[in-house]
Amino acid sequence: MYHDCNTDFEKIRKRIEEEKNKCKKCYIQGPTGPKGEIGPTGPKGENGFSTVDVGETKTGEANTNAMVENVGTNKNAILNFTIPKGEAGDKIIIGKTETLDANARARVEDTYAENVHTLDFYIPQGFDGVNGEIGPKGDPGISEKIEVINTKTVDSGQLAEVKDEFTDNTHYLTFLIPKGDKGDIGPQGSVGTAILDSYASLYEDNGNSYMLVANTPNQVELSKNSQIKNMDISFTNTVKVLNAGIYKIDYFFSSVASAQSDISIELRKENITINGTKITKKVNNQEYVWFNGSIIVSLNKDEKIDLAVSSTTNVTLTPDEDTVSYLNIIKIG
């Protein structure tokens, strides 16, 4: 059978075109070919910078681009840098710190406002530790003592005062007490009945100095008298009782010491100290000291009463300008 080749070719060509229109692109990749030879050397490039210097470095605004600008020449470069500043970061400050119970959990609370973190810490305290061993016994402590050595009456209108002299862990106190203003004269009392039948009043208002030997009693001067009844005062600085009975005895002594010492005053009967009448005071150099006492005692007929002063050291006692000493004896029963 005879075929027209041209007619068949035309049909085949159309069919191929139709298929091509359907595929748009249609290709098959073949295998990689062999490596080509190295190409020829290219022409010489232009010369680079001869020198490079850094010029200014500026801080640009936040959120802008960094820049490098050559303000020199192509041969000698001068580079200016513009670097944008960063945005402000958050600030952190420490707020309060509280101690919690030992069993609580530790925590940190962050309060954020206007780019500021405020941190509050809550920390539990530790548990009680084990008791330590008992420490060694300390050295004995030194206790201070207080002793009243003198009480002086000062003129009315002066301020009361307490003088404290501290020696050998002892405070030696001297009280200065102003006397009150003189009161008005009271009304005259009714006429009484005389019941005192035995009394004597001896005193000294400007006596001699006493040069005391340590621990040796010295009789107090009582050279003057004001009232005497049924008493014998013929003995020096002494009262002799003429009637037995119960007597009230008041006594007084004052002076200025030449050195620090313990001064004592005592009431004596037949040169023996009457119990409960000895008074001792510690005095300092050139310090005024005074004593007064009172006692009720039973006395026998013809017993002699006097007053004695003594010191623990050798010291001189100088009388004051006022009354130096007195001894008043009154029978009351």
Q: Tell me the CATH class for 199-331.
A: mainly beta
Q: How far is CA 191 from CA 188, 194, in A?
A: 9, 9
The predicted structure's pLDDT at residue 268: 96
Asked if residues 293 and 206 have their Cβ atoms less than 8 Å apart, the reply is no
| 104, two tokens | 């609580």
pLDDT in tens, 200-254: 999 988 778 889 999 999 999 998 888 899 999 999 999 999 999 999 999 998 9
Tally of residues, the chain: 333
DSSP string, 46-60: PP--SEEEEEEEEEE
H or E stretch including 8?
helix 5-23
pLDDT in tens, 57-114: 888 887 788 887 888 887 787 878 788 877 777 788 898 898 988 888 888 898 988 8
What are the beta bridge partners of residue 201? 227, 328
Could you state, in order of their start, the residue ranges of all structural domains in the chain?
A: 51-84, 92-124, 146-178, 199-331
Query: Parallel, antiparallel, or unpaired: how do β-strands 239-241 and 231-232 relate?
Result: antiparallel
201-222 core/surface letters (b: 16 or more CB in 10 A; e: else) = bbbbeebeebebeeeebeebbb
